[in-house]
Amino acid sequence: MADFLPSELVITPKGGVYHLDICPEDLARKIIIVGDQDRVELISNYFDEVTHKSQHREFACHTGTFKGKELSIISTGIGTDNIDIVINELDALVNIDLKTRNEKNEKISLEIVRLGTCGILQDEIPIDSFILSTHALGIDNVGHFYERNVDAETKKLEQEIEGKVKLPKYIKPYLTKASERLNKRLDNPQIEKGITVTSSGFYGPQGRRLRLPLVETEMLDSFSDFKHDEIRFSNLEMECSALFALGSALGHETTAICLGLANRRKKEFTTNYETKITELIEYVLDKI
C-alpha cells in the first residue's frame, strides 16, 4: 500500500498538489514566499525569464531565473493556517513521489525566505526598517499539532518568555528558530534583528483595540519590555512561527525578512510602502 492515501494527500488530475495546484517540475529549490498575491509579480518582474505562472485561490506561483539563480515566488495569503498548507504541499512536491504516493529515500532541503510586512515592537526601530527574524514566538496554534525537536537553549528561552509575557489565559506560546545559515546571507549592519511574534489575527491578537475590548491589555508592552541579554522582541506578523516550526521539522531552511510598516509603540504608520518594498525585494533577490 502507498505511504499516503488519496484522502491524506490530495493530488490533482494533472499530478500536482491540491491547494497550490503546481507540479514538481514547476518548483525551484530556492523559494520566496509573500503574503500578498500582488507581491509575486512585483518580484518576478525582475526575472530574466519566467518559466511557470499559475494561481489557485490565494496561491500564486511564478518560477523563473534571476541572474542565473532558479527561484519560485509563491503567495501564501494571510495567516499560519495557510502556512500549514503551503509548507506541507511544498515538502510533498519534493519529498514524496506523487505518482507512487511513497516517501522518497533521498530528501531535498528547500530554502524558503518569507518576504513580508510587519508591525514594530521597539521605540528605537524606525518604520520602514528591514527586520530579520532570529526566532518566532507563535501565539497562534499551528505548531502545537506537530511533534518537533526543540533544542535545550530554545526550550529554556521559551520558558523564560512564557513566564514574563502577558497573554490571554488559553494561549500557549511556542518558540521556533530561523535558519542561521540563511540569516548569515541576509544580514548586514543596517538590518534590525530579533524575535518575531506571530499572531493569529491582525486586530485583537496583535493588541489592536477597535470597538471590542481586549482580555489582556498589557500584552504588547510585555513583548516590548522583555529583555534577555541582547535578545528582544522586534516585530509582529502572522506567518513566521508555523513557517519555522514546520520548515525545520521537515528539514528545510526557513527564515523571514519583513518591512516594518507600523511602529506600535510610537503609533506611526508608513507612507512609503511602494518604495520600501521595492528596496526589500531588490535586497533579497541579490542575497538569496
Question: Does the protein bind ligand URA through residue 202 (CB under 6 A)?
Answer: yes
- Please state whether beta strands 174-177 and 227-228 pair in parallel, antiparallel, or not at all (unpaired): unpaired
Q: What nine digits make up the cell of 47?
A: 526575472
Question: Does the protein bind ligand R1P through residue 197 (CB under 6 A)?
Answer: no
Question: Does the protein bind ligand R1P through residue 35 (CB under 6 A)?
Answer: yes
**Among residues 20 and 118, whose Cβ is nearest to ligand URA?**
118
Q: What nine digits make up the cell of 272?
A: 512609503
- Enumerate residues 8-37 that contact ligand URA by CB under 6 A: none
Which residue, 196, 193, 201, is CA-closest to 175? 196
- Enumerate residues 98-127 that contact ligand R1P by CB under 6 A: 116-117
Least CB distance to ligand URA at residue 203 (A)? 10
* Residue 107 CB neighbours (<10 A): 12
**Among residues 117 and 183, whose Cβ is nearest to ligand R1P?**
117
Contact pick of 87, 137, 175, 236 for ligand URA (by CB under 6 A): 236
Question: Does the protein bind ligand R1P through residue 187 (CB under 6 A)?
Answer: no
Distance, CA of 213 to chain centre: 29
**Among residues 88 and 206, whose Cβ is nearest to ligand URA?**
206
Q: What nine digits make up the cell of 219?
A: 500584552
Least CB distance to ligand R1P at residue 4 (A)? 29
Contact pick of 23, 78, 94, 249 for ligand R1P (by CB under 6 A): 78
* Residue 93 CB neighbours (<10 A): 21
Q: What angle do CA 72, 117, 209 make, to 5 degrees?
A: 145
- Enumerate residues 95-134 that contact ligand URA by CB under 6 A: 117-119
Burial class (CB in 10 A: 0-12, 13-18, 19+), 205: buried
Q: Which stretch binds ligand R1P (CB under 6 A): 95-103, 132-140, 237-245, 265-273?
A: 237-245
